[in-house]
Each structure stands twice: as structure tokens, then as C-alpha cells.
Amino acid sequence: MQFTSEQRLDDVLEREFTLAEIPGILWTPASASTPVPLILLGHPPLGLQKMYPRLLARARHTAAEGYAAATIELPWSGERPRSAAAEQARADLHRALEAGEPVDDEIVDRLILPLVDKAVPEWRAALDALLALPEIGGPVGYSGGVIAIGTRLAVVEPRISAAVLFAGSFVPRTIVEEARQVTIPLHVLLQWDDEGNDRQMALDLFDAFGSKEKTLHANMGGHTGVPQHAGDDGNRFFARHLK
Amino acid sequence: MQFTSEQRLDDVLEREFTLAEIPGILWTPASASTPVPLILLGHPPLGLQKMYPRLLARARHTAAEGYAAATIELPWSGERPRSAAAEQARADLHRALEAGEPVDDEIVDRLILPLVDKAVPEWRAALDALLALPEIGGPVGYSGGVIAIGTRLAVVEPRISAAVLFAGSFVPRTIVEEARQVTIPLHVLLQWDDEGNDRQMALDLFDAFGSKEKTLHANMGGHTGVPQHAGDDGNRFFARHLK
């Protein structure tokens, strides 16, 4: 892990890094004197640069709560090499959505499963590097989308203790099956009128999670309309489980 | 409205009353010097006496937030005269549940609609009497079940500004239709594995509410397993909308 930039933004220290050619960003509370818990910030595959304003806002809230926040670029996004298969799957999805057709399971599988397969080991490698830093202790939370990535991480990565998952993308059936193995506390956010996912699939996924403690918070509006109070609820969830 | 008893419980003043032979309880913050908002505490038709410990716990939280809380006995419950038709509907419901059969719409209608038709005017009469007291100002919230009663009240009673509704009982289809006329902010609690209702019906009802601001909070467990943090979220909802 190589840090490539460092800047102080009010009470937050922001450092960009690369890890085996994957770009990432780490935010830590500037005032922390002891190792702090870490929250991994998930995001849709639109590129870190495009997502930066929203990620920074989330990181500021996270740092204000006394946690570090970190994120990495997803496969085939931002500055990373493209995948022809992923582009094709995305084009097929958009064609189905624009035609008002139901989205075929086969398209969802082609779109999401390779992303999950490639991204999850990368997030685990980032976790190795981040937890080796003296300023980061644990426990670790995952927050955000892609919900299929968060689900797989919750199954395979024992260092993640709790997750706030954003039901904002399509979910392959096999991931719904994997969800039964998840046992960590979960807090799932669902935008009821989200154009970018299937509400019933999101409810099926929520139902499938094996966790004894899981909460679904559904709010009105589309993908980016998550109300402030819903974010605050996520903070309180982490306060209960990461301290 | 006649007060029949009065006792001080720590920081809460509890007064029992009767209103046209309907028993009720009013709790006010003992320390309030100005008129306070009011939250009507809904409850299942099990009788005020049986529900008293849970109602008192909710009233204590409500008073601690600076609101008055009040409730009245539901029709055909507690000390009030029974209804042969209601008893028959309840027996038919239990028979279906015990046999593991789907609960027929016709049974739900017979069980819930007469209760809604009789209870809602009684709650409105209680509201008239309560708002005439100098220690109660407004605005008014409704909190709890029976969700069909809360829904009808939200449609017909303009003095109710916001509601925390508990999806803990069966819902007639006609009430789902009425829900489209509801416009006040709503916070709906759903126990995901509640044995006493139909989850899909609860989701359909949530979807039907016409309110621009509505939130669904679903938690694991059965009817009485609402976690503490879910109650806290309801308090924050009222703090946003009743102040």
C-alpha cells in the first residue's frame, strides 16, 4: 500500500493510496490518539472520482463518530481497465430498463457476479493493508453498496463485524442463497421507489439474511434520495455494534 | 370527561378517566409548565388492564420527551360490553391460524372493520376532550396499533399531524384502499416474523399510504419483540414532526 497524497480537511486527514494498482482513499479523524475502528465505504461502480463528493460527505460523518473510513476503486471503473463483458452486461441492462421489460436473471448474473468475484478479494486485500496501519484498530464495518459485494464480504470476511447495506442494485439469485450464511448484525437501507433495483428482490434478500439481528429501513424516493435521518440511523447502528 | 383517579409516578402524572363510559388514561409530564403536544397510544384489543405495563412504559418515554400520552379502552375489550360478532370473528381467525390455513379476507373484514368503525369516533371524541384541557396543546400524534384504526384516524382526523403505526394486526383490503388518502408523515414498524399479521399485507399497506414522507422499519422477531432502538427511532420521528 502506497500513499500518494495527503491533505487535511478540517478534522479529517485524507490520504489517497494505491494497492497493487487499485486506487483508494483513507480518511481518519485528525484528532484520534488511539487506534480507531474502520468502516469500509462501498459505492456503485461509477468511478471514485464521480463518487468523491458523496464519499467525502460520508467519510466526514464517519470520522466525526470516531472511525476511520476507507474505500477502493471497483473493478472496471474509474481509471482502471474496462471489461468488455461488463460493458455489454450494463448495456443489456439499460436496454431492458428503457424498454420497460423485466430484467432477466441472466443479465443480472452477467452484470453482478463477475464484479463480486473480482471485487471481494480486492476489498479483503485492502483490509489486510489498512489493519496493518498503527492508527487503525478494529472492529470493522462495511457500509453502502454494491449490496451483492457487501453480502459476499459478510459471508467470507470474518473481520467484518457489522454492515449497513444499501439495497440499491440488482441481486443475483445465488447471492440471495449466500445471504443465508450471513450472521453479523445488518442494517439494510431500501429506497422504496428506487429505479435501479427490484424492490421484491431486495425484500427477498433481506428475508434471506441469516443474521439474528437485522433491520430494514425503507424510505420514500429514488436512488439518491436517502433522507438525512436514515443516515443518522446507520451511524447509531454502528455505534451499537462497533464499540 | 371525568377523572376518576390521580397518582404521581416519578416525573409523570397519571390520571384515569371515563368518557361516556369508556375508560381511559392520561399521562402528562409532571414538570410541564406550558401546554404540551399529545400522543395517542394505540394498542391491541386485549383490555387496558392487561396492556397497562406496556402502555405505562411507552407513556414514561413519551412524557420524558415532553409530550402528554393518552389512551382509551377499545370497543368490546376490558370492562366494556362484549360483542358476539367480534368474539365469533376472533374465534374464526384463531381456528384458521391454528389449522395453518390462509386467513380469509372475509374473516379479516368481520374482525377489523366493525372495530375500526366503532373505535375511530371514540378516539376523536377523546381527542375533543383531551385538547380542551389547558395542559394539552398540540400538535397530536398517534402511536401504535391497531394499524387499521391508525390508518382510518389519519384519513379522517385532521388534528393528527404524524403517526407511528405498528403493523401488528391483519388489515382489510378496504383499509389498504383508504390508506391512499393518508398524507401525514408516517413511521411504520414491522416485526418481520410477527405471527399476528400477514407480512405481505403489511408491505402492501405501506406501499399504499399516500404520504410523501413515510418510513418502514422492519426488525426481526415476533409481535412483542420490538427492539429498544426501534422505539427510540419512533421518538426521533415524533421529535422531527411534533415540534
The pLDDT value given to residue A70 = 98
**In angstroms, what CA-CA distances link A211 with A54, A187, A192, A206, A214?**
29, 10, 22, 10, 6
- Residue A229 contacts B where some CB pair is shorter than 8 Å: yes
Under DSSP, is residue B24 helix (H, G, I), strand (E, B) or coil?
Answer: strand
- Name chain A contacts of B217, Cβ cutoff 8 Å: 215-218
Q: What is the DSSP string of B41-92?
A: E---SS-HHHHHHHHHHHHHHHHHTT-EEEEEPPTTSTTSPP-HHHHHHHHH
Residue A116 near residue A122 (C-beta atoms within 8 A): no
Confidence of residue A197 (pLDDT cuts 50, 70, 90): confident
Mean pLDDT of B138-154: 96
- B82 contacts chain A (CB < 8 A): no
Which of B192, B229, B240 has the CB atom closest to A236's CB atom?
B229
**Alpha-carbon gap: A189 to the closest alpha carbon of chain B (Å):** 10
Q: Residue B39: in which H helix or E strand, if any?
A: strand B36-41
Q: Which of A59-63, A151-155, A221-225, A236-240 has the lowest mean pLDDT?
A: A221-225
Give the pairing type, strands A214-219 and B214-219.
antiparallel
Where would I find the H helices in A184-227? 199-208
For residues A105 and A103, give the distance between their C-alpha atoms in angstroms, rounded to a whole number. Answer: 6
pLDDT band at residue B197 using 50, 70 and 90 as cut-offs: confident
Poorest-confidence range of A9-18, A218-227, B100-109?
A218-227
Cell 469500509 -> residue? A40
Facing residues of A72 across strands? A24
Return all residues near A215 (Cβ < 8 A) that are at least 6 apart.
A186, A187, A188, A237, B217, B218, B219, B220, B227, B229, B230
Check CB contact under 8 Å for B218 and A240: no
3-state secondary structure of B103: coil
Check whether A239 has a pLDDT greater than 90.
Answer: yes
Interface contact A217, partner B, CB < 8 A: yes
Decide if B233 touches A, using CB distance below 8 A. Answer: yes
- At residue B196, does pLDDT exceed 80? no
Q: Which residue has the higher pLDDT, B179 or A231?
A: B179
Residues paired with A15 in a beta bridge: A6, A26
Beta-bridged to residue B8, according to DSSP, are: B13
What pLDDT is stored for residue A165 in this prediction? 97
The complex's ipTM works out to: 0.84
Scanning every residue of chain B, which has its alpha carbon at the shortest distance from the alpha carbon of A215?
B219
For the cut 90, the answer to whether the pLDDT of residue B168 exceeds it is: no
Q: Would the pLDDT of A209 be above 90?
A: yes
- Which residue in the set B206, B220, B233 is minimally distant from A213, CB to CB? B220
Q: What is the pLDDT of residue A222?
A: 85
Could you report the per-residue pLDDT of A58-72, keeping only the tens digit for each?
Answer: 999 999 999 999 999
pLDDT above 80 (res B228): yes
pLDDT for res A225: 84
Peptide bond into A139 cis (omega under 30): yes
> Please, where are the H alpha helices in chain B?
48-64, 84-98, 105-131, 147-156, 173-179, 199-208, 228-241
Write down the domain spans for chain A.
2-81+114-241
Bond from prior residue into B172 cis (ω within 30 degrees of 0): no
Residue B224 pLDDT more than 90?
no
Query: Could you tell me the pLDDT band of residue B48, with boundaries at 50, 70 and 90?
Result: very high
Give the residue from B207, B220, B237, B240 with the most A CB atoms within 10 Å of its CB, the best one to mutate.
Answer: B220
Average pLDDT for B165-194: 94
CA distance A104 to A95: 11
- Determine the distance in angstroms separating the CA of B82 from the nearest CA of chain A, rounded to an integer: 38
Least confident of B49-63, B115-129, B189-203: B189-203
Gap between the Cα atoms of A7 and A26, Å rounded? 11
- The stretch A218-231 carries a mean pLDDT of 88
Query: What's the pLDDT at A102?
Result: 86
A207: nearest CA partner in chain B: B192
CA distance B216 to chain A (A): 5
Instruction: Inform me whether the pLDDT recorded for A243 exceeds 80.
Output: no
A233 touches chain B (CB under 8 A): yes
Q: Strand A214-219 and strand A160-166: pairing?
A: unpaired
Q: What is the pLDDT of residue B36?
A: 97
**pLDDT at residue A119 in the model:** 98
Interchain CB contact of B216 with A (< 8 Å) = yes
Q: Which residues of A touch B206 (CB under 8 A)?
A: 218
State residue A198's pLDDT score. Answer: 84
CB contacts < 8 A (A, B):
51
- The pLDDT assigned to A196 comes to 75
Q: What is the pLDDT of residue A212?
A: 96
- CA distance linking residue B60 with residue B27, whole number of Å: 8
Query: Quick one: closest CA in B to A228, which residue?
Result: B240
- B contacts of A222 (beta carbons < 8 Å): none
In terms of DSSP bridges, do strands A22-29 and A12-19 run parallel, antiparallel, or are they unpaired?
Answer: antiparallel
CA dist B25 and A69 (Å) reads 49
CA dist B74 and B82 (Å) reads 11
Task: Kindly tell me if the per-residue pLDDT of B230 is higher than 80.
Answer: yes
Check if CATH label 1.10.3210.10 holds for domain B2-81+112-241: no
| DSSP letter string, A30-96 | TT--S-EEEEEE---SS-HHHHHHHHHHHHHHHHHTT-EEEEEPPTTSTTSPP-HHHHHHHHHHHHH
List, for residues B92-110, the tens digit of each pLDDT value.
Answer: 999 998 998 888 999 999 9
pTM of the model: 0.90
pLDDT for res B40 = 98
CATH no. of A2-81+114-241: 3.40.50.1820
- A228–B contact, CB cutoff 8 A: no
Q: How far is B167 from chain A (nearest CA, A)?
A: 14
Using the predicted structure, report yes or no on whether residue B194 has a pLDDT greater than 90.
no
